[in-house]
Structure 1
Amino acid sequence: MPSTPDASRTAQQVNDSDWMDHAIRAGLVAYGVVHLLLAWLAVQLAFGEKKESASNSGALHYLAEQPMGRVLVWLIAVGMLLLVVWMVLEVLFGQRHEEDTTKAWRKRATAAGKGVVYGVLGWSAVQTAIGQGSSKDGTDSTTAKLMDLPAGQVIVGLVGLGIVGTGGYLVYKGWSEKFTKELDVQGTTGKDGSAFVLFGKVGYIAKGVALAIVGGLFAYAAITHEPKKSGGLDQALQTVLEAPFGQVLLVAIAIGIAGFGLFCFARARHLSR
């Protein structure tokens, strides 16, 4: 068996390889497809034509019902697995040249969080592909289980605040255009670059707003001690729809989510890491 240094060196070589770049690009394309489907379901919700839950799982179920849909869902599952591998390598080796230790650990934590998101989406895709799972989020039952734990109400509240914080960071990242670091120079210059930056800007802001609403629902559930008041993305978008000018706001968020999907395609083409 190879020694630990040899194994570490091999993993670093994999992380730095052209093969890994191709794998990441495939995963980003899959992630973009999910967001475009999600945007379409949000538009359907806005105009009262809702068939599937406007959530990641709902988007996968919608895709599975299309011709060759299950094959495409399997491809998305593989794409998410590739992104998980990327995030694991980023946690282990991606920050080895970072001189600021605090910044390096913050980036590792961010990579770990993204890995969890990709992993959950990938598992949902596998369940959808094999005909299991549901297009419903089921967050109220999950919240109820958390509420039953010691200090469960506090835990749910902290989860809500964490989600709100994540949403706020995405809005900041979109507004400040910090996401441009994820594109190479060609991806941020010229007419195409301007379009890619616009996709990223509206995409990150829209995702951040949607997440902040999800977090707010969790926090409200914690305050009222009513698990059914919590909800995933589907319930968050429904909350937007019920607000004044909700239909317009929901369509705007849907456009933003679609923009994020297109930004994923742009990032796959102009990957910088």
Structure 2
Amino acid sequence: MNTSAMAQSGRFRARRMARGSVTEGAARAGFAARGVIYLLVGALALQIAFGDTGRQADRGGALQELAQKPFGAVLLWALGIGLVGMALWRLSEALFGSVGKDGRSARKRLMATARFAFYVFVAYSVLSFAASRHQSGGSSDQQSRDATARALEIPAGQWLVGAAGLVIVGAGGWIAVRAVLRKYHDKLRLGQMSRRTRQLVDVTGVVGGAARGLVFAVAGIFAVRAAIDYEPDKAKGLDDTLRTLADTPLGPWLLVCVAAGLVLFGVFSFAMARWRRV
């Protein structure tokens, strides 16, 4: 066997290992962990909408809520390990490509790399909380303000913050549109679902994805405003973004709808854990 053939065989074995049962299990654990976080954030946002303003509807608040449950420490570690699994699966997609006809394209690998970096950060924050029971860096709102303030201090900081805000707005719109168009069908094993199950998955995928996209877009708008006005305090994390929805002319009912959507997205994540093609 020549060197080229050996290299090709090695790459094939690496791709097969990357898509093996271990990686598949890691991906499914990651989707389940994501589902838990969105369920908790959505439930906390619902409580805020109905008057319990002492809650914190973001990842930190979700972890605090989980820590107070029976076997909370075990649940936190399981959540963090699940998110590590998601990060490793995204890394395998970046290195070896994902499922689908264009899964090995540069665009898909770049997106997988960005998702890998994101889930590394999220997994680290969850595991750090599990180890110390202290949310390092404060709430998502404080983290957003601090990051915006630091970015505004560097040369061309206003432009960078504004551009980042526009990217987040675009990402939110992209998430919502893809959800409404049911683009996730391409990634699901629809043949393994009954007709009733497919209908339920579509409700959670469309409504949940649209709500998630809306939250991203609104957070991006606040980042753009912070850049234009050169005021980092106008940047908002997840908690403040959700609370702002209750201050619209629609009142708390808009927050109720979005919060319910985030709960549905959590349920949709569980469906992805069960039927996602990996």
Q: Same-fold call, TM > 0.5?
A: yes
- 89-98 or 232-241: bigger deviation: 89-98
1:252–1:113 distance in 2 versus 1, CA, 3 Å = same
Structure-2 separation of matches of 1:173 and 1:82: 25
Partner of 2:258: 253
1:100–1:136 distance in 2 versus 1, CA, 3 Å = closer
1:5–1:214 distance in 2 versus 1, CA, 3 Å = same
Partner of 1:26: 29
Counterpart of 1:195 in 2: which secondary structure?
helix
1:134-172 deviation line (CA, Å, top 9, x unaligned): 551121111100111111111110110010010000111
Shift of 1:7: 6.4
Question: Map of 1:144-163 to 2, 5 A cutoff?
Answer: 144-163=149-168
1:97–1:75 distance in 2 versus 1, CA, 3 Å = closer
Structure-2 separation of matches of 1:198 and 1:169: 18
Match of 1:89 among 84, 89, 92: 92
1:4–1:227 distance in 2 versus 1, CA, 3 Å = farther
1:224–1:235 distance in 2 versus 1, CA, 3 Å = same
Match of 2:216 among 188, 204, 211: 211
1:35-55 deviation line (CA, Å, top 9, x unaligned): 100101110111121343211
1:106–1:188 distance in 2 versus 1, CA, 3 Å = farther
Match of 2:181 among 169, 176, 180: 176
Q: Unpaired runs of 5+ in structure 1? A: none
Q: Is 1:269 aligned with 2:270?
A: no
Partner of 2:201: 196
Moved over 6 A (4+): 3-7
Partner of 1:120: 121
* Residues 102 and 108, structure 2, Cα contact 8 Å, conserved in 1: no
Q: Unpaired runs of 5+ in structure 2? A: 1-5
* Residues 91 and 113, structure 2, Cα contact 8 Å, conserved in 1: yes
Shift of 1:246: 2.6
**Structure 1: which amino acid aligns with 2:259?**
A
1:146–1:99 distance in 2 versus 1, CA, 3 Å = closer
Structure-2 separation of matches of 1:206 and 1:77: 24
* Residues 31 and 264, structure 1, Cα contact 8 Å, conserved in 2: yes
1:188–1:9 distance in 2 versus 1, CA, 3 Å = same
Q: Is 1:232 aligned with 2:205?
A: no
Partner of 1:39: 42
Partner of 2:3: none
1:150–1:4 distance in 2 versus 1, CA, 3 Å = farther
Counterpart of 2:134 in 1: which secondary structure?
coil
* Residues 23 and 88, structure 2, Cα contact 8 Å, conserved in 1: no
**Structure 1: which amino acid aligns with 2:198?**
G
Shift of 1:100: 9.2
Match of 1:72 among 71, 75, 81: 75
Match of 2:134 among 108, 126, 132: 132
1:224-251 deviation line (CA, Å, top 9, x unaligned): 0000000111111111011112311111
1:42–1:200 distance in 2 versus 1, CA, 3 Å = same
* Residues 187 and 193, structure 1, Cα contact 8 Å, conserved in 2: no
Shift of 1:189: 4.7
Matched pairs, number: 269
Partner of 1:106: 107
Shift of 1:113: 2.1
**Structure 2: which amino acid aligns with 1:112?**
T
Structure-1 separation of matches of 2:101 and 2:153: 42
Structure-1 separation of matches of 2:189 and 2:103: 23
Structure-2 separation of matches of 1:178 and 1:187: 18
What is the TM-score when the length of structure 2 is the normalising length? 0.90
